[in-house]
């Protein structure tokens, strides 16, 4: 019997997934990547004419809440009333979700979208650190740690060589990494439903309801700040957008579109997260970042390519899927 307090060994690697599960994961990843690419392009375009990032982020959370309420109302998804223990566990997830999105929008305003997403390709590094901190007994091989080196090196070289680099954009992108990987690691733990979280609940929450309640709590958290800091600027911002050729209905439609894409890619991300470990999820997240800015062929031999090329190696070493 293991001595009290001794670190627990890491769980054995998952056996190869059945073909049906592999296909389901692949389709979820495809939806996640495609909707995320469309979201980031539309979001960057909208920020140029509607640079009120607090309002924009609040609308994105609000759309997630609206979709969840519609799904519950139409009985497309089962309503689950969270217990007090679940709400206590969910609110920190909502808080880091708010911070991650705000930091990302700040970074996108400060730098080129391609550089922001190259910086965010360091997510596996943060996933490893946060998993070690919050999931007792987590163990990785030396090969996995070694594969962090070229990712960090590539991100560093991409930062110093990009003409749009700014320290403000860099630190907000890193802040987004910490926030999102904290959310993913803790969300995985929440959906695995340890006893202290499920106390008083009829059943554990699935990925849809978990992200639905994160969206609702995130909206309620950020909306007062949006009203406080942005409401006085709404009229002048819409006037300036009109001068740039964006009438108010066009801005409203773009906000709704970006909000829906934000919900869609996050929901697809949770579909993947519920089936794989957080580090593999982070690797999948970094792999999609090559879709931004230049095509792969245009960055071969560049620091961006260093980051991209090591991702598949990491995926193999981390032993997921």
Domain of 183, in residue numbers: 19-44+52-318
User: How confident is the model over 68-89, as pLDDT tens digits?
Assistant: 999 999 999 988 888 888 888 8
Its pTM stands at 0.77
- Residue 7 located in a structural domain: no
Q: HSE on the CB side for 85, CA within 13 Å?
A: 14
Does residue 11 form part of some domain?
no
Which string of DSSP letters, residue by residue, matches 95-132? Answer: HHHHHHHHHHHHHHHHS-HHHHHHHGGGHHHHHHHHHH
pLDDT (0 to 100) of residue 54? 93
Backbone angles phi, psi at 18, to 5 degrees: -55, 155
Helices (H) and strands (E) in the chain, counts: 15, 0
Q: What is the pLDDT of residue 305?
A: 45
- Angstrom distance (rounded) from CA 134 to CA 99: 19
pLDDT value, residue 50: 94
Q: Which residues of the chain have pLDDT under 50?
A: 1-2, 8, 10-16, 291-321
Q: How does DSSP assign 244-284, residue by residue?
A: TT--HHHHHHHHHHHHHHHHHHHHHHHHHHTTS-HHHHHHH
- What is the number of residues in the chain? 321
Based on the structure, what is the number of domains in the chain? 1
4 assigned to some structural domain = no
Coil, strand or helix: which one is 172?
A: helix
In a domain, 101, yes or no: yes
What ranges make up the beta strands (E) of the chain?
Answer: none
Residues sharing a CB contact under 8 Å with residue 71, sequence separation 6 or more, in sequence order: 77, 208, 212
Other Cβ atoms less than 10 A from the Cβ of 159: the count is 19
Answer whether residue 135 is part of any domain. yes
Do residues 304 and 158 make contact, with C-beta atoms less than 8 angstroms apart? yes
Q: What is the pLDDT of residues 208-229, one digit of tens each?
A: 999 999 999 999 999 999 999 9
CA distance linking residue 314 with residue 311, whole number of Å: 5
Look at residue 279 and tell me if it is in a domain.
yes
How many angstroms separate the CA atoms of 77 and 68, rounded? 8
Residue 283 forms part of a structural domain = yes
Is 8 within the bounds of a domain? no
């Amino acid at each position: 019997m293991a001595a009290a307090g001794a670190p627990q060994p890491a769980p054995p690697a998952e056996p190869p997934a059945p073909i049906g599960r592999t296909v389901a994961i692949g389709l979820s990843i495809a939806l996640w990547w495609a909707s995320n690419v469309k979201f980031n392009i539309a979001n960057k375009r909208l920020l140029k004419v509607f640079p009120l990032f607090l309002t924009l982020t609040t609308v994105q959370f609000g759309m997630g809440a609206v979709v969840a309420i519609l799904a519950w109302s139409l009985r497309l998804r089962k309503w689950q009333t969270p217990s007090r223990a679940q709400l206590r566990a969910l609110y920190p997830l909502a808080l880091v979700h708010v911070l991650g999105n705000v930091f990302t929008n700040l970074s996108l305003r400060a730098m080129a979208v391609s550089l922001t997403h190259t910086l965010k390709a360091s997510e596996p590094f943060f996933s490893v650190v946060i998993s070690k901190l919050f999931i007792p007994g987590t163990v990785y091989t030396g090969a996995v740690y070694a594969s962090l080196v070229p990712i960090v090196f590539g991100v560093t070289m991409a930062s110093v060589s990009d003409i749009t680099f700014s320290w403000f954009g860099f630190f907000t992108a890193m802040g987004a990494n910490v926030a999102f990987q904290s959310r993913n690691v803790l969300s995985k733990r929440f959906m695995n439903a340890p006893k202290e979280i499920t106390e008083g609940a009829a059943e554990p929450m699935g990925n849809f309801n978990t992200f639905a309640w994160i969206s609702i709590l995130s909206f309620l958290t950020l909306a007062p700040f949006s009203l406080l800091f942005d409401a006085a600027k709404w009229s002048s911002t819409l006037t300036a957008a009109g001068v740039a050729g964006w009438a108010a209905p066009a801005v409203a439609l773009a906000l709704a579109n970006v909000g829906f894409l934000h919900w869609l890619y996050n929901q697809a991300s949770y579909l993947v997260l519920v089936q794989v470990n957080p580090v593999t999820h982070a690797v999948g997240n970094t792999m999609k970042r090559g879709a931004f800015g230049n095509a792969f062929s245009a960055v071969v031999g560049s620091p961006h390519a260093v980051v991209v090329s090591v991702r598949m190696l990491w995926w193999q070493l981390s032993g997921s899927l």
